[in-house]
Structures are given as C-alpha cells and as structure tokens.
C-alpha cells in the first residue's frame, strides 16, 4: 500500500517511523524550514499546486491512502487534501492532537486570529513572548509600544515589530527553561496558537501569573479524525488488510 503522509509535525514523524517497514510511505513537507527533521521513508518537499496539483499527484503516484498529520493551523493544505481525496476516492485520515484547555490559575484570552490578538495585546502587557511562528510577525509590526521576544526555527522575513529580539530555537522545551526565559526577559504577556500537545511555556506562564493570548484553531474539514500517531497506524493497517 502506498501512503502519503502530509507531515511536518511530531505525529507525522512518529507515524512514518511506525509504518515505514510495512507500507511504501512518502512524507510531504511544506519546505518552510531549511533543515527540517526528516522522517523515515521517502520525503518530498514543497507544495502540490492547490487541489488540482494534489489530485494529479494522488493519481500519478498511485497513492492508496492519505494521512493529514499537518499542523493544526495548516488550514489550506488540510482543505485541499479533503477535496482532492474526495474527488479521487482516496481514503483520508486526519491526525490532529487535542487543543488546550485552560485550568485553575490560567489567565487566557482566546481570540479568533492574529490580527485580533494584535488589537488586544497593548491592553494586556508591553513585554511580549511571541510564539506564533515567523510568518505571523507582520500582524504585530504596527505595535511600536510593545517589546517582543519572538521564537522561531528560522529567521523572520518581511515586516516585523520595531522593538524585536529573535530567538532561533527548536523545541521541545522544559518548564524550567521557559520559566527562566520569561523571568529573564521580564515577559508580562504570552501570545501563542492553540497547537495542542505538551507545552512547557503554558505551565510556566501559569506558575508566574503571566496572561496568555491564545489564538483559536481554524475550522477543519469534515473528515475521519484521530488524535495520535498510534491510532493512525492502526487505521492504515486495517486499510491495508
């Protein structure tokens, strides 16, 4: 069975490692980082060219199943996969880790988008820990009253806030290191996306009483969905039989 994994996440790499010896697995990466963590099996890098390009790829490569294990905010490719698989008759499974839920001691302010987060930010704090990815920095470029610590894997491009320090790093991170980062940079507000999974910075923010601007996930296509790589592997094995 030939499987296309739409990847870039921990779940995608774990899945490829679990089933690469059983199936012909190709993981597709968007190509937004120059040195991505490579999964087991074959890897392709770059976009497909929209729904039509992905539909052609499924046909030309004789793909038997697609697992969409992209980031929860990769709405475009998830939507394209749902349409292309529906048109091609190729089974599709989505792997989306559960989102975060605020608990006792959390001060979260949920917003629908990065522009909404930028609008609310000055009322919550002035020293900002921004962990929304380098592509979202432009939404905060007009806030010259705030100082930003932005963490990303790659340097930002395009418009950025005028008072910005960039920290190039790749997780996972520990609660202790996140606590030291927040204290050392005198952070008084955290901005992040509801990506789900274990997240040390949210624990550190709770412990230190730092408010969080949490950007909600975009809507997902109507497709069969599981929350773990193990469940996706079981689905593939059942399909393969």
Residue 58 lies in a domain: yes
**Domains in the chain, number:** 2
Confidence of residue 201 (pLDDT cuts 50, 70, 90): very high
Q: Are residues 8 and 38 in the same domain?
A: yes
- The residue with greater pLDDT, 30 or 121, is 121
Q: Are residues 147 and 179 in the same domain?
A: yes
Each residue of 16-27: pLDDT tens digit? 999 999 999 999
Q: Are residues 76 and 147 in the same domain?
A: no
Percent of the chain with pLDDT over 90: 85
Q: Are residues 166 and 184 in the same domain?
A: yes
Burial code (b: 16+ CB inside 10 Å, e: under 16) for 9-23 equals bbbbbbbbebbbeeb
Q: Are residues 27 and 47 in the same domain?
A: yes
Domain of 115, in residue numbers: 108-215
pTM of the model: 0.87
Q: Could you count the other beta carbons within 10 Å of the beta carbon of residue 4?
A: 27
Q: Are residues 176 and 86 in the same domain?
A: no
**Residue 42 and residue 13 in contact, taking contact as beta carbons nearer than 8 Å:** no
**Residue 125 and residue 189 in contact, taking contact as beta carbons nearer than 8 Å:** yes
Each residue of 30-43: pLDDT tens digit? 877 777 778 999 99
């Amino acid at each position: 069975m030939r499987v296309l994994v739409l990847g870039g996440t921990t779940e995608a790499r774990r899945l490829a490692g679990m089933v690469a010896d059983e199936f012909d697995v190709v993981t597709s990466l968007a190509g937004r980082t120059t040195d991505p963590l490579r999964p087991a099996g074959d890897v392709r890098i770059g976009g497909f060219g929209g729904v039509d390009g992905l539909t052609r790829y499924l046909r030309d490569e004789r793909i038997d199943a697609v697992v969409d294990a992209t980031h929860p905010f990769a709405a475009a490719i998830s939507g394209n996969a749902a349409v292309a698989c529906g048109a091609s008759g190729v089974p599709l499974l989505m792997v989306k880790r559960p989102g975060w839920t605020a608990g006792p001691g959390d001060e979260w302010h949920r917003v629908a988008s990065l522009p909404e987060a930028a609008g609310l930010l000055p009322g919550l704090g002035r020293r900002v820990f921004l962990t929304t990815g380098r592509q979202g920095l432009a939404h905060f470029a007009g806030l010259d009253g705030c100082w930003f610590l932005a963490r990303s894997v790659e340097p930002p491009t395009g418009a950025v806030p005028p008072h910005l320090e960039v920290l190039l790093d790749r997780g996972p991170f520990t609660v202790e290191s996140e606590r030291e980062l927040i204290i050392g940079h005198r952070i008084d507000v955290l901005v992040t996306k509801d990506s789900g999974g274990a997240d040390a910075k949210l624990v550190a923010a709770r412990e230190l009483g730092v408010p969080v601007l949490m950007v909600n996930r975009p809507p997902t296509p109507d497709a069969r969905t599981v929350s773990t790589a193990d469940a996706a592997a079981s689905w593939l094995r059942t399909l393969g039989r």
